[in-house]
Amino acid sequence: MKCRYCLSTESKVVDSRPTEDGTAIRRRRECLNCGKRFTTYEKIEEIPIMVIKKDGRREPFDSGKILAGVRKACEKRPISAASMERLVDDVEREVFNSLAQEVSTDAIGEMVMRQLKVLDEVAYVRFASVYRQFKDISTFMDELKRLLDEK
């Protein structure tokens, strides 16, 4: 780490602690050459994951889109914002833990539905009806029957 004052590469860590949001480590360093102190931040390097859309297009993974869909499915349901954010965090973690550089919207949708089924069945059915694009009442009823059979 180069000192911002004298450009020496020799420094020692005086203090180290996580940032308030927990996404980085804040380190206070002291230059061994000039004695001045400076702060550095250490973050995990995130590998960009591309999402393969149904029409074949690719775009960067955006957990905000998942949260928007989950919020819509959970509208007027007794589900806290924290629970929805936790669900999105779980899906995001699963996507990043797969170590794949690309993931399909189908795979992401299945991850979300698996989580929603546990969280709230009504929200699950709402999400599934949009995600699976039910064509008519019979396909919708088939999904409901499947849900009831699992109970």
pLDDT at 119 over 90: yes
Q: Is 117 exposed, middle or buried (0-12, 13-18, 19+ CB in 10 A)?
A: middle
Residue spans of the domains in the chain: they are: 11-43, 50-150
- Does residue 128 carry a pLDDT above 90? no
User: Mean pLDDT of all residues in the chain?
Assistant: 90
Residue 102: predicted pLDDT: 95
**Is residue 82 within 8 Å of residue 136, measured between CB atoms?**
no
pLDDT at 94 (0 to 100): 93
pLDDT above 80: residue 2: yes
> Mind listing the pLDDT tens digit for each residue in 52-77?
998 999 999 999 999 999 999 999 99
Alpha helices in the chain (DSSP H): 63-73, 81-97, 105-119, 121-131, 137-150
